[in-house]
Amino acid sequence: MTIESAMVLAAGLGTRMRPITNTIPKPLVPIAGKPMIDYVLETLAAAGVKRAVVNVHHHADQVIAHLGRHEGMEIILSDERDALMNSGGGLAKGLKLLPPGTVFVMNADLFWIGESEGRPTNLQRLDQFFDPARMDMALLCVNLDNTTGHNGMKDFSLAADGQLIRYRDGDPNPVVYAGAIVMNSALLDDAPDDAFNLNIYFDRAIAVNRLYGLMLEGHWLTVGTPEAIDEAEETIRRFLEVV
């Protein structure tokens, strides 16, 4: 069954993108003429999502105004202007605004290009891969060679069956977390009401062998600094030329 709900994490301060983010929130920074968050929302819409919660904090009024012009799905705001909730707290708060069930979770500033026409999208593949009987979460992952703008860190080691553990030097098949998750919203029913990092739930899932990953098809981009914008735009131009 197609997943129709999603949470987009968009409330961060974007400190590494200063001075740009002194006047504009990071999700609205344009890359190749398009705000980063629009790449994410278009990816969700292509996977069949009908409604998405977006949390806001930094320059929230700009994000709210931009989302008000968005067409293609219902946008629900999770207001964090009073206090940032970190990744886990923001997700737990936002999920309460959605119907219970299976959801996509994405970061507003991480996206990919180069999916094949006529094939299931990465999110659709992740949805098909997710098995709640065996998995707490399914993460979209990518090989370091298929990234632009990443700092070189390896997040997990991916087993042949898709199971993930934290990467340690020398582990086989290292992968980078690509910023997209499929999970059941009930997983965070026991979450605290204050700020916390989502890594807590990654580690809980690893401890009981229930964190899994699926490899991304295409090329993944992260734009963490002003200097990374040109590199990202050159990568996008290169992929468009191939198409």
Condensed to tens digits (0 to 9), the pLDDT of residues 117-128 reads: 889 999 999 999
138: confidence class by pLDDT, cuts 50, 70, 90: very high
Count of structural domains, the chain = 1
pLDDT in tens, 10-69: 998 888 889 999 999 999 999 999 999 999 999 999 999 999 999 999 999 999 999 998
Best CA proximity match to 77, nearest among 61, 88, 100: 61
Model confidence at 149: pLDDT above 90: no
What is the phi/psi pair of residue 79, to 5°?
-85, 115
CATH assignment of the domain containing 156: 3.90.550.10
What's the whole-model pTM score? 0.93
Q: What's the pLDDT at 241?
A: 67
**Domain interval for residue 232:** 5-242
